[in-house]
Amino acid sequence: MNERLPTDSHAARVEVVTETLTLSLHEVCQRCGLNLSDLQHLLAHGVIEPVPASSDEWLFSADALGLLARAARMQRDFELDAAGLAMALSLLDELQRSRRQVDRLRQLLAQHVQL
Amino acid sequence: MEFKDYYKIMGVSEDADSDAIRKAYRKLARKYHPDVSKEADAEQRFKEVGEAYEVLKDKDKRAEYDQLRKLGARGRDGSFRPPPGWQARGGGAQADFSDAGDFSDFFSSIFGGFGGAGQQGQRARQPYRQRGEDVHSKLALLLDEAYKGGEKSVSFQVHEPDAQGFLRSRRKTLKIKIPPGVTRGQQIRLKGQGGPGSGGGNNGDLFIEIDLAPHPLFVVDGKNLQLTVPVAPWEAVLGASIRIPTLDGEINIKVPPGSSGGQKLRLAGKGLAGGDLIVILRISMPRQHSDKARELYQQLADECQYDARKDWAKP
């Protein structure tokens, strides 16, 4: 199945959105497929945090969107309730940090010591 | 088409009850979930397990599968061909498929569904206006690519309706231009490249999370890069001007006199996204020494009277 690749003008529409894209609570719910109560639970557990905003409305960054997409997958695949989901996401975050740290230290160690 | 032994995939016996099947699924899902597992084939294995569970957890689907299995619809080479007259069920039976777009052709040939080669699928929700799904993907870049930017191909799955309005899973490939200076964890967006909207709704977006592949020299620590540089003992003691690589090309740096192994030198702004390059000195000894060099080392030993283990291994 051959597919036409987009042209350069298309490719120019790539944007880094980590700090620039902010979404309202309603948009986040709509995009990630989690319901409001699950989202509020994740907020209460500090798994996601709104970006500081001048208005009263809660706004979330694109990073939160990636995290919430993972939350929706994990909720579906492990049949987790909101509290379990919050716990799983926190542990997963810690696991990823630790794995990254181990990889980094292993790489450094290999450069200093003959393993 | 390959016959899939769902019992084998789940590691359960043919007479396993629903509790045993659920337990096996949960165990395997924890092991192979792409968000959790580090195993190279985790995604593929997880899909297989999900497909097996989809069938074995459902009494009707399981009975149907068992019947086919007993009919021996397997060729000598392990290939599968549905018996003549076999009708894939399709229709309302797949209403609860949460992510069935990734199920195999084998599954589709038995149950219909909206797998890649399915004959019948779930009708796309057309009548009302709905935004297409966002797609989240990861892309591992080499450090140089992340720093300088460049073109990359990305492949991802989207669910979209075919000519008959049935949802199909399709692998989409796009060539994208990575902007320079991206780093691990950043999200880039391709607007409108996710799933198609329905009833005049907008397409979803494609979000790509940047990851960095390990580099043989540079170690990534957030925005900083660490670079271990070997120096000769006399370069460390006397100081030296040495040439080192950076992501911008080679530069000269000064090793200050009196340096030691493990010492760090910070080069501001030479890391990722405004971070620093941390040079870590490693004292490297020549493999062999001439008689003259050994003589000079002896003179050095006599002159320094240095006990390297004086404060070592003492409580």
CATH top-level class of B135-212: mainly beta
Give the pLDDT score at B118.
36
Is the complex ipTM more than 0.90?
no
Q: For A44-63, write each residue's pLDDT tens digit.
A: 888 888 888 767 788 888 88
In terms of Cβ atoms closer than 10 Å to its own Cβ (0-12, 13-18, 19+), residue B302 is exposed
Residue of B62, B166, B175 lying closest to A5 (CA atoms): B175
Contact A99 B134 (CB under 8 A): no
Separation CA B210–CA B242 (nearest Å): 33
pLDDT above 70 for B154 = yes
Q: Which of B26, B35, B207 sits opposite A73 (nearest CB)?
A: B35
Residue of B240, B233, B231 lying closest to B289 (CA atoms): B233
Separation CA A67–CA B275 (nearest Å): 25
Give the pLDDT score at B199.
84
pLDDT above 70 for B54 = yes
Q: Which of A10, A63, A77 sits opposite B187 (nearest CB)?
A: A63
Asked if A77 has any chain B CB less than 8 Å from its own CB, the reply is: yes
Contact B175 A104 (CB under 8 A): no
**For A7, nearest residue in chain B (alpha carbons):** B175
Give the pLDDT score at B21.
93
Give the pLDDT score at B120.
39
Q: Which of B188, B204, B214 sits opposite A14 (nearest CB)?
A: B188
Residue of B55, B83, B51 lying closest to B70 (CA atoms): B83
Separation CA A42–CA A71 (nearest Å): 9
pTM: 0.75
Separation CA B2–CA B104 (nearest Å): 10
Q: Which long-range CB contacts under 8 A does B200-203 form with residues at least 24 apart? A: B200/B129, B201/B129, B201/B130, B201/B131, B201/B132, B202/B131, B202/B132, B203/B131, B203/B132
- Provide the token pair at B290: 């001439």
Q: Where are the domains of chain B?
A: 6-125, 135-212, 218-304
B75 confidence band (pLDDT: 50, 70, 90): low
CATH architecture of B218-304: Sandwich (2.60)
Average pLDDT, whole number, for chain B?
84
pLDDT above 50 for B144 = yes
State the best of A60, A77, A97 to mutate against chain B, taking most chain B CBs within 10 Å.
Answer: A77
Give the pLDDT score at B292.
97
Give the pLDDT score at B98.
40
B166-172: average pLDDT: 79
B83-100: average pLDDT: 48
Angle at B54 between CA B90 and CA B107, to 5 degrees: 50
Instruction: Write out B285-307 in H/E/C secondary structure.
Output: CCCCCCHHHHHHHHHHHHHHCCC
Angle at A18 between CA A72 and CA B160, to 5 degrees: 50
Amino acid at the residue B211: D
Asked if A3 has any chain B CB less than 8 Å from its own CB, the reply is: yes
Least confident residue range of A93-97, B87-91, B97-101, B238-242? B97-101
Q: Which sign does the torsion angle of CA B298, B303, B307, B308 carry?
A: negative
B218-304: same fold as B6-125?
no
Give the pLDDT score at A8.
39
A108-115: average pLDDT: 82
Which has more confidence, B77 or B99? B77
Backbone angles phi, psi at B60, to 5 degrees: -70, -45
B298-315: average pLDDT: 90
Q: Which domains does chain A have, with CATH numbers?
A: 2-112 (1.10.1660.10)
pLDDT above 80 for B115 = no
- Whether residue B123 contacts residue B114, with contact meaning beta carbons closer than 8 Å, is answered with no
Would you identify the CATH topology of the domain B6-125?
Answer: Helix Hairpins (1.10.287)
Residue of B34, B79, B66, B127 lying closest to A73 (CA atoms): B34
Give the E-state strand segments of A54-98 in sequence order: 59-61
| Residues of chain A positioned with their CB less than 8 A from the CB of B230 | none
Which has more confidence, B121 or B164? B164
Asked if B35 has any chain A CB less than 8 Å from its own CB, the reply is: yes
For residue B263, the distance in angstroms to the closest alpha carbon of chain A comes to 12
In order, the DSSP letters of B195-221 are SPPBTTPPPP-EEEEEEE---SSEEEE
Other beta carbons less than 10 A from residue B292's beta carbon:
8
Contact A66 B189 (CB under 8 A): no
